Amino acid sequence: MEKDISKAKVLVCDDSMMVRNKMKKLLTAYGFTQINEACDGAQAVEKFADIIPDITFMDIVMPEMSGVDALRLIKTNSPDAVVIMATSVGTVGNLSEAIKLGANDFLQKPVDDEQLYRLLDNYFKKEN
């Protein structure tokens, strides 16, 4: 994984533009500069293949293709991909399925900066 945050590629996938914008703002404040977006699971799979992100944030419940289905496809093609699932109350069953499929971690929605930065520290500051 790219440890230089300014060079690391991020993919944020959520059907809510408001959530994507909040995540972009938090990720930019953390130091990321290469932030890509997808609005559903199908678009996430396509963008993932195009950019090969260092870390992906994926909503579980989305139209067109769920985050769980997108995770399945991403992990089939890129088993080492780092995918963090975002979940809200009521999606516990989906979350356990995502973990079985290889999700690396999860965030509870609504995501706050402290929760996100603590998780990012685990992936990007470990070896520094």
Please tell me the distance from the alpha carbon of residue 112 to that of residue 118, in angstroms, as a whole number. Answer: 10
Q: Where residue 49 sits, what CATH number does that domain have? A: 3.40.50.2300
Residue 96 placed within a domain = yes
Q: What is the tens place of the pLDDT at every residue in 77-86?
A: 999 999 999 9
Helix (H, G, I), strand (E, B) or coil at 88: coil
Q: What is the tens place of the pLDDT at every residue in 25-63?
A: 999 999 999 999 999 999 999 999 999 999 999 999 898
Supply the pTM of this predicted model. Answer: 0.92
Q: Domain count for the chain, please give it.
A: 1
Residue 128 placed within a domain = no
Domain range for 46: 9-120
Helices 113-124 and 17-30 pack at an angle, to 10 degrees, of 50
Residue 3 placed within a domain = no
Residue 115 placed within a domain = yes
